[in-house]
Chains A and B, each alone.
Chain A
């Protein structure tokens, strides 16, 4: 009994460590205080600042556009790469797989710096063109798309593709209508992973972004260094909004997963 209580207590303490800062910040985001600890009245001023300051809304829109663009390119490249690597000879396949592993295990600082060295320092491509930034984020994301698509391809039954060819489909048509539909779950989770990686990135953006452009990460990091301003407390509101969005997404996807499990069980019973 005591062991059970201690176990629960430990779990709760670690959860508090992870969530207390976010939750306290969330409470304070609804007040007019500029400092944690100072108790002031209820206020929505932080949320108003968040949605009405062009600097903030522009930064958020920029971050999201970058994440979506990078994730789309990474998903196309990574998926094609996984298919190509799987169907190629051993040499080509192992080259792609090995190179693919490098950004995965490498430190983001080194990835970002090395892309800056190649594109900006050696080839003088202006950071203002957004090319280094986009290339950096695709390099960060594509390997993870590759890794999430690959297991789906290896699990596939090759005879279905052969059957499509025997029935007269061209290789291209068989690919689009037979192979791709079977690996869609891997593509979707790869895309989602790419979006979250891009949204969370700081280092690659710092080394490759135009001076006038900021992602949420680079903006927040710079803001924490300055004085306590209205924009800084508006970031508490942003933190709360993102927290709520993440909670909702997790809840919805979990409910869906639970439901489909329930349906499976029901189907099983009918059979």
Chain B
């Protein structure tokens, strides 16, 4: 067979089929069977009738929404101030905000845990607050970067035109800058919202006994309950798909990929 550039894609295509597509198919199989391999809908109906799992779903939605809002309220001003400043050092400051992405998260959360213990005493007393603090601490850089990128690419002429036409600075911000930075905001939200529903290890490390969706997979895994864990994974996967469709995500490879400038 003669070499053609097309054939280069074959190993990766096979790899993706084996390690991305096949695992998802097996997830479906285990989600709709019981321990004996018989077809059942019990895992599915169990998820939607068990008050514990439903409670976890709503609790983790709440954690994710609050974390996302807090990250947004901190990240937007930071990104805006940096993007608009004429400081020579702004790329250095931006780097400072992004650098935590490269430090192992478990070590950073350990540091946060030690400090919070000094401030709060018993961490278990404030589970919700600590969940929000921990997740904001971990995910904030992922919100700042896409918003900064979007704002710094905005054409100044639009703002100047608004000002020339008599808008004050508040109006200009609300009607020009903010709407135009929505793509960055959406991309930031998609970087924070889903991890905040699934990254249960941050809660574990902060002595948090509250459960989010990811924790359910973790506990089914520890109990060797593959069928239950697969069903939770499928539910999460469905939510991720809906979320991605809503945000139109995936078209820009900012996010984790953007961490490397």
Contact = CB atoms under 8 A, between A and B. Distances in A.
A58 interface: no
B16 A96 contact: yes
Contacts of B237: 106, 110
Contacts of A225: 204-205
B167 interface: no
Contacts of A95: 13
Contacts of B256: 104, 144, 193, 197
Contacts of B13: 81, 84, 92, 95-96, 99
A43 to B, nearest CB: 17
Interface in B102-142: 102-108, 110-115, 117-118, 137, 140-141
Interface of A: 7, 10-11, 14-15, 17-22, 24-25, 28, 36-37, 77-78, 80-81, 83-85, 87-89, 92-93, 95-96, 99-111, 113-118, 121-122, 135, 138-139, 142, 144, 146-148, 170-172, 175, 189, 192-193, 196-197, 199-200, 202-203, 206-207, 216-217, 220-221, 224-225, 235-236, 238-239, 242-243, 246-247, 249-250, 254
Given A25-B114, A36-B117, A36-B118, A250 B99 contact: yes
B260 A148 contact: yes
Q: Interface centre among A10, A101, A113, A203, by most B CB within 10 Å?
A: A113
B257 A25 contact: no
Contact of B221 (A89, A104, A115, A207): A207
Contacts of A81: 8-9, 11-13, 15-16
B233 A110 contact: yes
A19 B93 CA distance: 13
B72 interface: no
Interface string B6-35: 111111110111011111101100100000
Nearest to A110: B233
Contacts of B188: none
Interface residues of B, number: 86
A111 B200 CA distance: 15
Contact of B140 (A18, A118, A142, A236): A18
B240 interface: yes
Contacts of B194: 105, 107
Nearest to A22: B111
Residue in B99, B101, B249 with the greatest tally of chain A CB atoms within 10 Å: B99
Nearest to A122: B26
B6 A92 contact: yes
21 contacts: A11-B82, A14-B78, A21-B114, A24-B115, A36-B115, A80-B11, A87-B8, A99-B16, A100-B20, A103-B20, A107-B214, A109-B200, A110-B217, A110-B237, A117-B30, A139-B19, A202-B201, A216-B107, A220-B106, A238-B107, A250-B99
